[in-house]
Amino acid sequence: MPKLAKPLTDTQIRNAKPKEKTYTLADGGGMYLEISSKGSKIWRMSYRQPNGKTTRLTFGRYPETSLQDAREKCMAARKLRAAGTDPAQAKRIEKRNQAFANANTFETVAREWHATKLSSWQLRTANNILHRLEKDVFPLVGKQPISTIGAPLVLDVLRQIERRGAVDMAKRQAQVISQVFRYAIVTGRAESDPVPSLRTALQPSADGHHAAITPDDLPQFLLALERNEIRMYPTTRIMMRLMMLTFVRTSELIETPWAEIDLERELWVIPWQRMKMGKKKVKPRKVDHHVFMPSQGWRLLRELSTYTGGGLFLFPNQRDHQKPASNGAILSALKRMGYGGKHTGHGFRSLAMGVIKERLGYRHEVVDRQLAHSSGDAYGEAYDRAQFLDERRVMMQKYADFLDNVANSNVK
């Protein structure tokens, strides 16, 4: 009958000293402590395979792996053997699965998905999406295997964005995260997308559009702009007034080079490549946009030329005049005026739509062309180049005159 090993004690293990050759201390059940000639102490277990060969498992180094921890690992291996499973093979499978999971973290999959979309995105769009992932998502779940991320963890990520007041940003990040999960599903690295189940858990937006004042708010807004109690720079005030008069998209105004402006002929046409629909990688809308500037706008541009006319852009960046001003310049000025959360740069477009349709009585499709919205039909492109041009020119002057009348308190 084989001699049973007497279980080891912590005292024995601590007092075990290295010898000239490696030796072992048995603990029973096939487990032993191996002490090398250099003093390292490693937990191991040996067992015989059906073919007669001996297999050795390693449970860790002492004292990082305690006696109790080693015994638990040994017991788990013995249970596998009793169930007919080779512990060494099970360990190799677990290690391979863990390596697969580590190679398919959320960040790894997200960056791979991002790379596949580059050909269909504008550079700015691609950079913005990656920047938001790096700021809001990767620090929280980037290192997690994507297959282990469920709805509660994604909800926590989105709620942290909501807590700083960025409700719309949280919704946009949810859309991006969902796309990453869908990519992981089709590439075999996730089984489901947890985002759709979170729709009712996210905070609702105040409304479905960018914040905008109404025509009834105009008198107070124009008065605040005129008084300039926040002491905006002259160029910033001109920027605000031009946004109101032209209601182009913020980036379309901010990034306008002086080369596009013909002060002598009073002509401003934005090339289709700078327009939102023209920047699409797939089927871009190749229609230049006529910005029918009213006389008030041309006076503002002539004033602006005395400040920035010698440079590249209408509104240059203060630090680098070879770049346009930040898109946040208008939003920052609005916040300082007390309109944070109430009005945005994009809100000037909603405001103009309301005034021109409700107060001036113009048809929706005419205002829509001035907003550079796509018509959605084959005839719309021709209309943009021909039928509505004269009507839009008159409309824009009437709109500017209306704003002047409101500022002068002639219209309530």
- Mind listing the pLDDT tens digit for each residue in 329-385? 888 888 888 888 888 888 888 888 888 888 888 877 777 777 766 544 433 444 444
Query: pTM, whole model, 2 decimals?
Result: 0.52
> Quick one: which of 132, 251, 248, 218 has its CA closest to 403?
218
Split at pLDDT 50, 70, 90, the class of 282 is low
User: Tokens 């929280």 — which residue?
Assistant: 140
> 178 or 349, which is more confident?
178
Angle ∠(312,260,375) on CA atoms, nearest 5 = 130
pLDDT the model gives residue 386: 45
Mean pLDDT of 50-65: 87
What's the average model confidence in pLDDT over 152-176? 88
Residue with the larger pLDDT of the pair 281 and 344: 344
Q: What is the pLDDT of residue 98?
A: 66
Residue 207 scores a pLDDT above 80: no
Note the pLDDT of residue 110: 94
Catalytic residue among 114, 349, 369, 392: 349
> Is residue 180 scored above 50 in pLDDT?
yes
Active-site position among 44, 172, 276, 336: 276
Is residue 1's pLDDT more than 50?
no
pLDDT at 367: 77
Does the pLDDT of residue 133 top 90, yes or no?
A: yes
Q: So what's the pLDDT on residue 305?
A: 95
DSSP string, 16-66: ----SS-EEEEEETTEEEEE-TTS-EEEEEEEE-TTS-EEEEEEEEETTS-
Active-site annotation holder among 159, 335, 373, 393: 373
Q: In angstroms, how far is CA 237 from the centroid of its own chain? A: 31
Which of these is catalytic: 23, 47, 307, 383?
Answer: 383
Tokens 């500037």 correspond to what residue? 293
Amino acid at 96: R
Report the distance separating Cα 251 and Cα 272, nearest Å.
13
In the predicted model, what is the mean pLDDT of the chain?
84
Q: Identify the weakest region by mean pLDDT among 174-183, 262-271, 380-389.
A: 380-389
Question: Is 249 annotated in the active site?
Answer: yes
Minimum mean pLDDT range among 17-21, 241-245, 256-260, 361-365:
361-365
Highest mean pLDDT among 103-107, 233-237, 358-362, 384-388: 233-237
Band of the pLDDT at 248, cuts 50, 70, 90? confident
Q: For the chain, what percent of residues have pLDDT higher than 70?
A: 90
pLDDT band at 328 (very low <50, low <70, confident <90, very high): confident
Per the residue annotation, which of 346, 362, 392, 399 is the catalytic one?
Answer: 346
Strand residues in 210-277 grouped as ranges (E): 261-262, 267-270
- Segment 135-139 mean pLDDT: 93
Q: Is the pLDDT of residue 51 over 70?
A: yes
- Structure confidence at residue 258 (pLDDT): 94
Which residue do the tokens 């590249």 mark? 312
Active site residue 276: yes
Is 19 an annotated catalytic residue?
A: no
List the CATH code of the domain at 10-86.
Answer: 3.30.160.390
Whether 373 is catalytic is yes
- Cβ(50)–Cβ(89) under 8 Å? no
- Which range among 53-62, 95-104, 314-323, 395-404 shows the weakest confidence by mean pLDDT? 95-104
The domain made up of 215-407 has a fold known as hpI Integrase; Chain A (1.10.443)
Q: Which of 189, 241, 249, 392 is catalytic?
A: 249
CATH architecture of 106-201: Orthogonal Bundle (1.10)
As a whole number, mean pLDDT of residues 170-193 equals 91
* Residue with more model confidence, 192 or 200: 192
Residue spans of the domains in the chain: they are: 10-86, 106-201, 215-407
Res 123 pLDDT > 60:
yes
How many other C-beta atoms lie within 10 A of the C-beta of residue 92?
11
